[in-house]
Amino acid sequence: MKILLRTKLIISFLVVIAIAGTVATIVGLHLISTGVVNQAQEKVNMDLNSAREIYETRLREIETFIECTTLRAFAVRNALKENNRELLLGALRKAMERGKLDILTVTDNEGRVVLRACNPALSGDSQAQDEIISSVLQNKKPLAGTQIITRDELLKESEELAKQAQMKLFPTPMAKPIQETERTSGMMLKAAVPILDDDGSLLGILYGGVLLNRNYEIVDKTKDTVYRGAKYKGKDIGTATIFQGDLRISTNVKTRDGKRAIGTRVSEEVYEKVLGEGKTWKTDAFVVNEWYLTAYEPIRNVTGDVIGILYVGILEQKYADMRRTTLWIFLGITFVGAVIALVVAYILSNAIARPILSLKKGVEAIADGDFDFEVQCKARDEIGSLTESFNRVRQQLKELYGKLQGKIEAADEDLKEVNKMLREKQRQLVHSEKLAALGTLAAGIAHEVNNPLGVASMYAQMAQKDVEKNPSRLPQRLETVVAEINRGGQIVKNLLEFARQTEPAIREIDLNGVIEKALAIVEHQAGLQEVKVVRQFSSELPRIMGDPDKLQQVFVNMAINAFQAMPDGGELTLTTGKASDGKMVKVEITDTGCGIPEEYITKLFDPFFTTKETGKGTGLGLSVSHGIIEQHSGTIEVKSSVGKGTTFIILLPVKRPER
């Protein structure tokens, strides 16, 4: 496949940009997740500490406030000592109001309730079994902590408080499935302080607390101090929650309709980790209806049991958006880069390809024989110097070509001259050869025809004399004259045959029949000479196309030659058959005669070549036969060994090829 330089360049640029863009995007996204998101998660973890601090501070505040109340208010002590309930109630209510407490209660030194600020009507029940109270009774030291308060205990304080704690459970996706539909107990920040007499003996206990259910003070304070109420797309970025067990009892996470999501529960995963295993849990989690980066940690009671969870979380959407924005920015940069790369590659490839293209044109021009095509290139780079070299080479080629052209033309002239000379020489040679041949021919003819003419002339003269002296010998003389003249005539006829080479009269013939006829003409001679004629004719010989008279003459000539080679008798064998390839028929004429010496073989078919004495042979038989066989598109060959015999092999085509 042919890829243009420009395409290659553009592809290379795009590949580089694509790789760089992909790497940049991956690195960017990685940086955002590891850097920014991890930092955000880190911050959430710190926020959890802040939330814990706020929670603990509130607890200490309650404790300190109650402690101060007992220390400073003589009224409380005296009223307790004197059992002045009215005075005591006044003092408690005032303190409760100032300390923003939900309950404030005094017990005696055995933990029996003396007076409840919320419900003065109910007293005398023991709180000694309460884990905080019992500890204070024992140690005479203040103690604060988080505690689950049953509905019965809440009802003792006030119906309102029980109602505040009572909470319907909403179905929450991913939460641990449970049967409950409502929770009536509450969770409280509670502190108890011993009331000591001047001598240090325990007069009683003052305890108070704040119910956390539906009390948003801590979570909102956390949101305001830690996140300063920051919002993203109308939603609070930071959120905080207090869970009683797995139940949201105080939160600023909102449901879809904008209400605080109390009554919903924590996801099962967090439940297992934080409530089950008592571990801190930090992750990105689906909270109510949004994704948050979150941190959860257990809230424990004074005996160390996990009774709730403190949670902070920040909206993940901001970071997801950031990641998306980054992705788009990187993709945008990659795209812009690709466009710029395309333009640059286009310009660059043009700048490179143009001079190369004109060089190509230049080379093509030279290939077409145009040496005047000058390639222009102003560039001062490698291509520029290549162009310069090219133009130099072109110039040299042009000069060389010019010189070569001159040489070729000169050589052409010489060649023409030589050709002319050669033709002249050839003509002369042919002429002299012709003359020589003609000379030989003429000498032969003269010699051959002269003989019978001489004899005829001599006998005619003898007849002339016989007319007067011996007329009875006249017929004999004249017979000889006629015979000699006939012999001369036969020679002339043979010559004519050789010279004219008349066109054969072709028709379909049976070669066996032709040979048979030829033998009939010469066979009487065989009897005289004691030669045995053997016929080995093939009965399946294909018919051939040929002139029967001419072919008959060939076999007559052959047979006569054979007879003449066997003056003391012998055997003449004629064999016919198909040649090996099936396209030819083969005739072999074999005699057991004197044979032909090696040096004669090449001259055998020349006209007038004969070894026979004058009057017996003219040397035309074989040359005439050769001509006839050639006319039939056949071949004639000879194999001979002196003293043993000779074989002539004639091949003739089965079907005469089209002319």
Q: How far is the CB of 647 from ligand ATP (least distance, A)?
A: 9
* Residue 618 contact among Mg ion, ligand ATP, none, beta carbon within 5 to 8 Å by kind: ligand ATP
* Backbone phi and psi for residue 633, each to the nearest 5 degrees, phi listed first: 60, 35
For position 619 contacting ligand ATP by CB under 6 A, the verdict is: yes
Q: Which is nearer to ligand ATP, 90 or 617 (CB)?
A: 617
How many C-beta neighbours within 10 Å does residue 152 have?
10
Among 565, 572, 585, 650, binds ligand ATP (CB under 6 A): 565
Indicate whether 592 belongs to the interface with ligand ATP (CB under 6 A).
no
Q: Which positions from 122 through 181 interact with ligand ATP, judged by CB under 6 A? A: none
HSE at residue 594, side-chain half, CA atoms within 13 A, is 11
Options 451, 611, 631, 635; binder of ligand ATP; rule CB under 6 A: 611
334 near ligand ATP, rule: CB under 6 A:
no
Under the criterion CB under 5 A, does residue 623 sit at the interface with Mg ion? no
Q: Which does 532 bind (CB under 5 to 8 A by kind): ligand ATP, Mg ion, none?
A: none
Shortest spacing between CB 448 and Mg ion, in angstroms? 13
Give the number of other CB atoms < 10 A from CB of residue 118. Answer: 19
Positive or negative, the Cα torsion across 409, 415, 418, 423? negative
Among 147, 561, 576, 590, interactor with ligand ATP by CB under 6 A: 561
How far, in whole angstroms, is CA 378 from its chain's centroid? 40
271, 99 in Cβ contact below 8 A?
no
- Our CB check for ligand ATP shows the closer of 195 and 594 to be 594
> Which residue among 30, 360, 612, 655 contacts ligand ATP (CB under 6 A)?
612
**Amino acid letter, residue 383:** I
621 interacts with Mg ion by CB under 5 A: yes
Residue 606 CB, shortest distance to ligand ATP, in Å, is: 8
Q: Give the interface segment with ligand ATP, choosing from 78-86, 344-352, 385-393, 613-621 (CB under 6 A).
A: 613-621
For the segment 2-31, give every residue that binds ligand ATP (CB under 6 A): none
646: partner contacted, choices Mg ion, ligand ATP, none (Cβ within 5-8 A by kind): ligand ATP
Q: Which residue has the tokens 């070729």?
A: 408
Choose from ligand ATP, Mg ion, none: what does 620 bind? Cβ within 5-8 Å by kind.
Answer: ligand ATP
Bridge-partner residues for 168, per DSSP? 182
User: In 3-state terms, what secondary structure has residue 170?
Assistant: coil
Select the span of 49-57, 334-342, 548-556, 613-621 touching Mg ion (CB under 5 A).
613-621
Contact pattern for ligand ATP over residues 402 through 441, marking x by CB under 6 A: ----------------------------------------
Under the binding rule (CB under 6 A), the answer on residue 604 touching ligand ATP is yes
Which helix (H) or strand (E) covers residue 76, if one does? helix 74-82
Binding track over 629-658 against ligand ATP, x by CB under 6 A? -----------------x------------
Contact between 556 and ligand ATP per CB under 6 A? no
* Least spacing, CB of residue 604 vs ligand ATP, in Å: 5
Nearer to ligand ATP, 21 or 645 (CB): 645
What is the 3-state secondary structure of 608-641? CCCCCCCCCCCCCHHHHHHHHHHHCCCEEEEEEE
Q: Alpha-carbon distance 170 to 182, whole Å?
A: 9
Using rule CB under 6 A, residue 622 touches ligand ATP:
yes
DSSP output for 200-256: S-EEEEEEEEEE-TT--HHHHHHHHHHHTT-EETTEESEEEEEEETTEEEEE--B-T
Among 310, 187, 170, which residue's Cα sits nearest to residue 242? 310
Strands 570-578 and 531-536: parallel
Question: What is the DSSP annotation of 363-431?
Answer: HHHHHTT-TT-PPP----SHHHHHHHHHHHHHHHHHHHHHHHHHHHHHHHHHHHHHHHHHHHHHHHHHH
Length reported for the chain: 659
Adjacent-strand bridge partners of 650? 587, 636
Contact call for residue 593 and ligand ATP (CB under 6 A): yes
Tell me how far, at minimum, the Cβ of 441 lies from ligand ATP, in Å. 14
- Under DSSP, the state recorded for 267 is B
561 is an interface residue for Mg ion by CB under 5 A: yes
The full DSSP string for 313-328 is EEESHHHHHHHHHHHH
Minimum distance, C-beta of residue 460 to ligand ATP, in the bound complex (Å): 25
Among 609, 631, 649, 654, binds ligand ATP (CB under 6 A): 609
Strands 238-244 and 247-251: antiparallel
CA distance 127 to 107: 8
The whole-angstrom separation of Cα 44 and Cα 38 is 10
**Piece of the chain touching ligand ATP by CB under 6 A; list 15-23, 366-374, 533-541, 619-627:** 619-627
Site track 507-546 with ligand ATP (rule: CB under 6 A), x = hit: ----------------------------------------
- The residue with tokens 């006939």 is 486
Binding of residue 562 to ligand ATP (CB under 6 A):
yes
The angle that helices 38-72 and 85-98 make with each other, rounded to 10 degrees, is 150
8 binding partner (options Mg ion, ligand ATP, none; Cβ < 5 to 8 Å by kind): none
Cβ closer to ligand ATP: 310 or 572?
A: 572
Alpha helix segments (H runs only) across 277-316: none
* Contact in structure between 654 and 584 (CB atoms under 8 Å): yes
Residue 612 interacting entry, from Mg ion, ligand ATP, none, C-beta within 5 to 8 Å by type: ligand ATP
Q: Which does 175 bind (CB under 5 to 8 A by kind): ligand ATP, Mg ion, none?
A: none
147 binds, among ligand ATP, Mg ion, none (CB under 5 to 8 A by kind): none
Written as six digits, the tokens of 317 are 């959407």
> Whose Cβ is closer to Mg ion: residue 173's or residue 597's?
597
Q: Which of 204, 275, 591, 629 binds ligand ATP (CB under 6 A)?
A: 591
- Beta-strand (E) ranges in 510-655? 531-536, 544-546, 570-578, 584-591, 635-641, 645-653
Of 164 and 592, nearer to Mg ion (C-beta) is: 592
Q: Choose one: 47-55, 269-277, 300-308, 616-624; the region binding Mg ion (CB under 5 A).
A: 616-624
596 contributes a contact to ligand ATP by CB under 6 A:
yes
* Beta carbons within 10 angstroms of residue 641's beta carbon: 12
Q: What is the β-pairing status of strands 238-244 and 167-168?
A: unpaired
Tell me the DSSP string of 124-140: --B-TTSHHHHHHHHH-
Nearer to ligand ATP, 61 or 497 (CB): 497
Question: Whose Cβ is closer to ligand ATP: residue 357's or residue 499's?
Answer: 499
Question: Based on CB atoms, which residue is closest to Mg ion, 371 or 648?
Answer: 648
Binding-site member from 190, 610, 632, 652 for ligand ATP (CB under 6 A): 610
Binding site for ligand ATP (CB under 6 A): 557, 561-562, 565, 591, 593-594, 596, 604, 609-612, 617-623, 646
Chain residues in the site for Mg ion (CB under 5 A): 561, 621
